[in-house]
Amino acid sequence: MHGRLKVRTTEEERERKKKEQTLKVKAYRAAMAKIQEKRRLQQLDDEMLVLTSQILLRNPDVSTLWNIRRECVEQKSLNIDDVDQRQAIYDTELNFSEQCLLVNPKSYNGWHHRCWTLEHSPTANWEREVMLCSKYLKMDERNFHTWDYRRYVVEKARTSKQNELDFCTEKIKANFSNYSSWHHRSLLLPQLYPYEGDAQPKRAMNEEKLKEELEMVLTAAFTDPNDSSAWFYQRWLLGYSRQELDVCAFRCDNNRAVLSFTNPIILTEEDVVITDSKGNIKKKITNWKSINGAKSDTTWFCSLNGDKVLEHINDQYLLELHITDINVKQITLKTYKQSVYFFKPPNQSFTFTENVLNELQTQLESCESLLEYEPDSKWTLLTSALLMRAIGSQKYHDKSLKYLGKLEKVDILRENYYRDMASKWILEKYLLDWTSSEDFPGKLDLRNEEHLNAIFYPQYLCIADIVLVSEKLNHYSDKKQLQGFIAFKL
């Protein structure tokens, strides 16, 4: 076999790797020991920088070593007055962290060290950092560390937002399965194209742009309906934002008062006043108690101890609110038996302008045609249902629930999620219908709603004297809160 090649067997290779590993471990431990010894002696010198870099270049995730490095850098730059010389120290750190990030592009420590270095260096070249981000995102367009860092340096570099948006668009074109990029977009668009109309709740951006974005996201959805990133972005576009703080319901007689809000708030003594139609203060309600005994709550009640607040029940009474976050300052109250009340059913549909409404309608039609090809597509079904709710929750009530029913079957893992969502929609409709029923607001009968599995809006129920619920809901986990309402009788 003279002159022939001999190749290592895997056994030999394993043995060799093991030996190499042992040697590396030995070197690692020796270096760590030396670093700790030097730190104890506060020898924060160049040798320390060399030692830490030898380890960090192999494993950039040892926070301690980065901390020691920062101590060294501070120490080193302490006695140097010359700006260029000081800058040189920080430039070394920048280059070093760049090398480490090539080893592990998702090293929290590495990215943090860059931020620290730039913040402390005499002159920071932020444009260079933006370019570095572009370079890194070319290698991995989904590295959220880089996107995060990019937002930080872009702010510092004062890069034009339009440039950022264009960059974002390029990345989405290359691969739209990119939550980071969609997110980046969602932060830029409201600033670049602010909404100036007065629809409530406020749209995320101006309607023209919104339309474009919806089209783009639909293209992604049609290309791959199973990719969730685009659908999530679409949900954001369609404005499933948090409901704004508002009054839901109020009821009061001479003995007790109850007041509830869409979101939890802290109600203070000066906040609520009842006046008559002439503006005379009848009662300043002060001793509010949270229904759950919490500091912040959606529902508040108080005992009025026969204060004769409502002397002439047929008079017109008004509720005055002095709460900063609520736009409505005065509410006209209606009369029911010996009490006055106010009720605004939950969020029925968004008030879109004609323009957006047409776009939503188009989107819905496209989704429906997509369903012809993909009848079981989860995201398409869900989006269609949500679109229907956005366009007209009354009009599409049955159909949207039918879609949720289908979703329970095709996406069995999230079956209860869809059931809960259906319960929410059912209750919304029920509460709306309730306002025109004979029993309103004294009695609420939910016993016939067989698909109602949970009560999402307990704060709306508080004005009823009696809430009749089915056996199923009696076992509802949030029973405590619910029972609080049922027990609450005027």
Partner 1 sequence: MSDDLPDKFDLIVIGTGFPESCVAAAASRIGKTVLHIDPNEYYGGVWASFNLESFCALLEQGGNKELRNASQKWHVAETLKVAEAESDTVAGETNIKTDAAKQNVLDWSRETLLQQSRRFNLDLSPKILYSAGRLVQLLVSSNICRYAEFRAVDHVCTRFQNNIINVPCSRSDVFNTKDLNIVEKRLLMKFLTLCMTYGEDKTDEDALQFRGKTFREYLQEQKVTEKISICVMQAIAMCNDDTSFEEGMARTQQFLNSLGRYGNTPFLFPMYGCGEIPQCFCRLCAVFGGIYCLKRQIDDINIEADTNIASVVLEGKTIKAQHVVSAPGHLPNAFLQRNVGVYGQAELVNSLSRGIFLSATPLGSEELNSGGGGVNLLRLLAGTQEAILIQLSHFSGTCPKGVFLFHITTTAQSDQPAQDLAPFVSQVFNPDDENAPKLLYSAYFTIMGRERTSATPNVDVSTTIFCTSTPYYELDYDKSIISAREIFAKLYADAEFLPRAPDPEEIVIEGEDPRALSENSLPDDLREQLRELENSAENMDIEDTDAAQAGECTQEDAETQNMDAD
Closest CB to partner 1 among 76 and 171?
171
Which range of residues in 10-18, 83-91, 129-137, 412-420 is near partner 1 by CB under 8 A?
Answer: 10-18
Tokens of 90: 């920080």
Minimum separation from the CB atom of position 168 to partner 1 (A): 14
51 or 168: whose CB is closer to partner 1?
A: 51
Q: How distant is the alpha carbon of residue 461 from its chain centre?
A: 27
Nearest approach, Cβ of 96 to partner 1 (angstroms)? 14
7 binds partner 1 (CB under 8 A): yes
CB of 66 to partner 1, least distance (A): 13
Exactly one of 33, 88, 131, 281 binds partner 1 (CB under 8 A); that residue is: 33
Of residues 173-212, which lie at the interface with partner 1 (CB under 8 A)? 173-176
Question: What values do phi and psi take at 57, rounded to 5?
Answer: -65, -25
Nearer to partner 1, 10 or 477 (CB): 10
- State the minimum distance, in angstroms, from the CB of residue 115 to partner 1: 17
Render the burial of 359-398: b for 16+ CB within 10 Å, e for the rest.
bbeebbebbeebbeeeeebbbbbbbbbbbbbbbebeebbe
Structure tokens at 95: 């280059």
Instruction: Point out which span in 32-40, 119-127, 238-246, 451-459 binds partner 1 (CB under 8 A).
Output: 32-40
Pinpoint the alpha helices (H) of 79-160.
Answer: 83-103, 108-120, 126-139, 144-157
Residues 154-173 that bind partner 1 (CB under 8 A): 173
Examine residue 26 and tell whether it contacts partner 1 (CB under 8 A).
yes
Could you say whether residue 20 binds partner 1 (CB under 8 A)? yes
What CA–CA distance (Å, rounded) separates 490 from 487?
10
Residues binding partner 1: number (CB under 8 A):
58
Q: Does 138 bind partner 1 (CB under 8 A)?
A: no
Q: Given the complex with partner 1, which of 9 and 314 has the nearer CB atom?
A: 9
> Structure tokens of 310?
């409502």
Q: Which is nearer to partner 1, 68 or 274 (CB)?
A: 68
Residue 129, judged by CB atoms within 10 A of its CB (0-12, 13-18, 19+), counts as buried
Distance CA(488)–CA(76), nearest Å, equals 70
Write down the least CB distance from residue 381 to partner 1, Å: 15
Give the one residue of 132, 247, 319, 370 binding partner 1; rule: CB under 8 A.
370
Identify which of residues 143 and 299 has a Cβ nearer to partner 1 in the complex: 143
| Site membership for partner 1, residue 59 (CB under 8 A) | yes
Tokens of 246: 């508002």
Min separation Cβ 178 and partner 1, Å? 10
Pairing state of beta strands 339-343 and 334-336? antiparallel
Binding partner 1 by CB under 8 A: which of 85, 289, 373, 437? Answer: 373
Does residue 16 interact with partner 1 by CB under 8 A? yes
- Shortest Cβ 139–partner 1 spacing (Å): 14
Of 28, 116, 126, 417, the residue at the interface with partner 1 (CB under 8 A) is: 28
Half-sphere exposure of residue 360: CA atoms within 13 angstroms, side-chain side: 24
Residue 215 CB, shortest distance to partner 1, in Å, is 9
Judged by CB under 8 A, which stretch of 51-59, 117-125, 328-336, 448-456 contacts partner 1? 51-59
Sort 84 into a burial class: Cβ within 10 Å, 0-12 / 13-18 / 19+.
exposed
Within 304-414, residue ranges assigned H as helices are 354-373, 378-392, 397-410
Task: Name which of 396, 343, 394, 347 is nearest 367 in CA terms.
Answer: 396
- Helix (H) / strand (E) element for 317: namely strand 317-321
Judged by CB under 8 A, the chain residues 216 through 275 that form the site for partner 1 are 218-220, 222-225
The pair of structure tokens assigned to 254 is 């001479």
CA gap 286, 302 in Å, rounded: 8
Closest CA to 68 of 42, 89, 97: 42
Token pair in block for residue 351: 């008030």
CA distance linking residue 472 with residue 414, whole number of Å: 20
Minimum separation from the CB atom of position 358 to partner 1 (A): 17
Measure the CA–CA gap between 428 and 397, rounded to whole angstroms: 10
Q: Which stretch binds partner 1 (CB under 8 A): 1-9, 193-201, 347-355, 420-428?
A: 1-9
Quick note: the x/- pattern for partner 1 over 82-121, rule CB under 8 A, is ---------------------xx-xxx-------------
Alpha-carbon distance 386 to 235, whole Å? 8
Residue list 431-460, contact with partner 1 (CB under 8 A): none
- Which range of residues in 4-12, 395-403, 436-444, 478-486 is near partner 1 by CB under 8 A? 4-12
Residues 400-429 as b/e (b if ≥16 CB within 10 A, e otherwise) read bbebbebbbeebeeeeeebbebbbbbbbbb
Distance of closest approach, residue 338 Cβ to partner 1, in angstroms: 60
Say if CB 248 and CB 261 are below 8 A apart.
Answer: yes
Q: How far is the CB of 54 from partner 1 (least distance, A)?
A: 6
**C-alpha 396: how far from chain center:** 27
User: What residues make contact with partner 1 under the rule CB under 8 A?
Assistant: 3-9, 12-13, 15-16, 19-34, 51, 54-55, 58-62, 103-104, 106-108, 144-145, 173-176, 218-220, 222-225, 366, 369-370, 373-374
